[in-house]
Amino acid sequence: MVFEFERWLWSSHQDSNENEAVELHNGSVLINARSHADVGMTQKRIQTRSDDGGLTFGPTSFVKELPQPIDGCEGSIISTHLGVPPVLLFSGPDSKLLRTGMTLWRSEDEGYSWGAKQLLDPGLSGYSSLQADCHGHTCEALLLYEQSDDWSKNLVMNPDRFVFRRISLSTLQNAQSLDAMTSAKDGRHGDPTAVEAANSVMMYL
């Protein structure tokens, strides 16, 4: 599929960057963004919507269910194209301090609320990228994310490796189903023997 654009229009919203866009069921565009917030400020993701194909956007608002580390972190949002309206997924650290706790959230009302969530990695984890592999009534989230072992690194960490995981959305509906896989025996990234069970691939740098 090739997209052609006749022109680009500049638009900005206060204190946000690394914006992620997803098209909704009615053609509207939802932006989910990292917010720049220092210590003592609200550490939440920001969202806004456009009902005219992205020419204009409504007011921004904090997403109460989606925390972010201090000064924010990139996250990823996608539509599964399953359901009416289609289920949306978001990945990012579930933390208001360090980039830690890579988590997958699910929204069944086009981002108005984010309900079921699944902790995938309790250790240091940062940027992520999501895709969906859906066939018929079955769907898997495909997640690539940064992972680090060094707690002494600053807030903008250098990853030790990238991790790729396939997550069945049926397990996301029952978020406790992966608790055994993500229980942190070493206090960081969980039981390394669970890698195969979690459908994970590690790529070392």
pLDDT 10s digits, 71-117: 899 999 999 998 899 999 999 999 999 999 999 999 999 999 998 89
CA 200 to chain centre: 17
121-163 per-position pLDDT tens digit: 999 999 999 999 988 778 899 999 999 998 775 556 789 999 9
> The tokens of 190 are what?
């969980």
Ordered domains of the chain (ranges, CATH): 72-204 (2.120.10.10)
Residue whose token pair is 């914006």: 19
Length of the chain: 205
Closest to 119 (Cα-Cα) out of 197, 185, 175, 199:
175
Please report which helix (H) or strand (E) contains residue 106, including its range: strand 100-107
Encoded amino acid at 185, one letter:
K
Task: Retrieve residue 90's tokens.
Answer: 């978001």
Single-letter amino acid code for the residue at 154: N
Cα 48 from Cα 101, distance rounded (Å): 25
Are 47 and 105 a contacting pair, CB within 8 Å? no
